[in-house]
Amino acid sequence: MPIPERGMTKDEILSALQSFKENDLNWRSGKVLGFTYQPGADAEEVTKAAYMMYLSENALDPTTYPSVLRLEREIVRTVADLLRGDENVVGNFTSGGTESILLAIKTARDKMRADRPHIQEPEMVLPLTAHPAFRKAGAYFDVKPVFVPFDRETFKADVEAMREAVTDNTILLVGSAPGYAQGVVDPIAEIGALAQEKDLLFHVDGCVGGIQLSLMRRMGEYDVPDFDFSVPGVTSISADLHKYGYAAKGASTILYRNKKIRRHQIFASTATTTYVLINPTLLSTKSGGPMAGAWAVMQYLGEEGYRTMIREVMDVTRRMIEGVRATGELRILGEPIVPMFSMASDSINVFQLADEMTKRGWYLQPQLSTPYSPPNLHISVNSNTTPVVDEFVQDLRGAVETVKNDYVPLDIAEVKAQIQAALDQAGPEAFGQILAMGGIQGTTLPSEMALINSVMDALPDEVCEDLLAGFMNDLYI
Ligand SMILES: *Cc1c(COP(=O)(O)O)cnc(C)c1O
């Protein structure tokens, strides 16, 4: 596809782009219950204006744009204060939670390379509830993730299992505040004590909820366990602004207990013909837009604005959870303390329930089982769900009944047996067969995803991951 010989007009371009969106999720509906975070129309407008004002400023070199440096310093100070860091706590603005986590793992690796050069094959110990970005970071930076179980009832990290997993190669412990999947906060104080006892680094993943939990703590109306720099032993925290901080996407922070640790994050090069390059984070050339947008939304909402939204989403969450329990067929996993939760069922296939809710205009996020937990559906709540919360409760009740009465139950044992048979033949042909079992033709997904989700859930992780990577490889050009 060549670029057009003669350029299109602004109107033509914008209407083309608008038409492309036709089949996208409608996040304004209040019915998209996963990975959208909405501060409301006014805040959105302010964010966009600020973002556009800094769109073309290059945050590559803070000495050329002092205002961009100022924005970053003010954002980091604000987040450090929320997370009860003292004046020694430092950090950087990043493009997202994944970049913050990648940096935390790279920094931990390089600090320990300097301090404990005898460690050749560094390891991090983390519960299976940790975000996959840690596995990704481990793969990128050669730090082996050593996963340990979590409590089957509470979904909190099993600290004794973490202790037992520590070896001479361990450099880092990881806990979440909260984990995305269940909205549960790990026992951060206990893990901090273990980190101190074993003289290890300790990263707290506050990507999704670090900002919100801090604001909730300051409100004094919610029971928030200590998870921040007030906990001895915590050496770094990631906290996204583009989740419950309500910033536009491309906004997160990574904070460290002190500069000695952060020093290992920074890369500098004078050795080539190219300009002097000093990168505190992964990206080099980057827009100042995300920073200005994040700065603006915090100034616009103020703590008062955040408080109002917290009360609203927590109230909606409570009403949704009551509705979930009232179905009699679904249960909430763990005890979520943020506006996020997950639900599982002993009687119906939750992936079929997700499909039925999709037909009724909702988006719920399927999550796969682990050796310690059942398949489940995730919900993150936004204030724009407030006007439709009764409709949610009604639709959920209806959807549960429809799945119970009208859906043909999927025989998971049969699915597993078929997959095993296909795998036994081995080779790449088996993958095609398995994809077909899920109803996938080429790269076209069926409208009902229950079978695919059930197939993914039944497959061994390595096989499923290989399959999905292959699928993506075909999906993109
Ligand atoms: C979203 C999330 C991440 C990853 O953040 P991205 O911004 O999507 O890269 C990491 N950890 C937790 C707990 C998250 O919720």
Res 427: pLDDT: 61
Q: For the segment 287-333, what is each residue's pLDDT rounded down to a tens digit?
A: 999 999 999 999 999 999 999 999 999 999 999 999 999 999 999 99
Nearest alpha carbon to residue 340 among 361, 372, 365, 370: 365
Nearest alpha carbon to residue 168 among 120, 135, 130: 120
Report helix, strand or coil for 269.
strand
Residue 74 CA to ligand 1 centre (angstroms): 22
**Amino acid symbol at 332:** I
- What mean pLDDT is reported for the chain? 95
pTM higher than 0.85, yes or no? yes
Using pLDDT thresholds of 50, 70 and 90, give the confidence band for residue 426: low
Residue 23 has pLDDT above 90, yes or no: no
Q: Is 176 in the pocket of ligand 1 (CB under 6 A)?
A: yes
What's the average model confidence in pLDDT over 119-148? 98
**Measured on CA atoms in the order 435, 438, 440, 441, is the torsion positive or negative?**
positive
Q: Is 96 in the pocket of ligand 1 (CB under 6 A)?
A: yes
What's the average model confidence in pLDDT over 212-232? 97
Residue 230 has pLDDT above 80, yes or no: yes
Atom in ligand 1 nearest the alpha carbon of residue 96: 7
What's the average model confidence in pLDDT over 138-145? 98
For the ranges 52-56, 361-365, 387-391, 441-445, which has the lowest average pLDDT? Answer: 441-445
Res 447: pLDDT: 77
Res 304: pLDDT: 98
Residue 204 CA to ligand 1 centre (angstroms): 12
Residue 40 has pLDDT above 80, yes or no: yes
Residue 369 CA to ligand 1 centre (angstroms): 19
Residue 136 has pLDDT above 70, yes or no: yes
Report the percent of the chain where pLDDT is more than 90.
84
Q: Is 208 in the pocket of ligand 1 (CB under 6 A)?
A: yes
Residue 306 CA to ligand 1 centre (angstroms): 20
Close Cβ partners of 333 (under 8 Å, ≥ 6 residues apart)? 155, 182, 341, 342, 343, 344, 373, 374, 376
Output DSSP code: residue 126. E
**Amino acid symbol at 88:** N
Radius of gyration for the chain, computed over Cα atoms and rounded to the nearest angstrom: 23
Q: Token pair of 125, please?
A: 């110990």
Q: For the segment 320-373, what is each residue's pLDDT rounded down to a tens digit?
A: 999 999 999 999 999 999 999 999 999 999 999 999 999 999 999 999 999 999
Res 35: pLDDT: 86
Residue 145 near residue 124, CB atoms below 8 Å: yes
Angle between helix axes 350-359 and 450-458 (nearest 10 degrees) is 160
Res 297: pLDDT: 98
Q: For the segment 262-279, what is each residue's pLDDT rounded down to a tens digit?
A: 999 999 999 999 999 999
Q: Is 180 in the pocket of ligand 1 (CB under 6 A)?
A: yes
Q: Is 95 in the pocket of ligand 1 (CB under 6 A)?
A: no
Residue 446 CA to ligand 1 centre (angstroms): 27
Res 127: pLDDT: 98
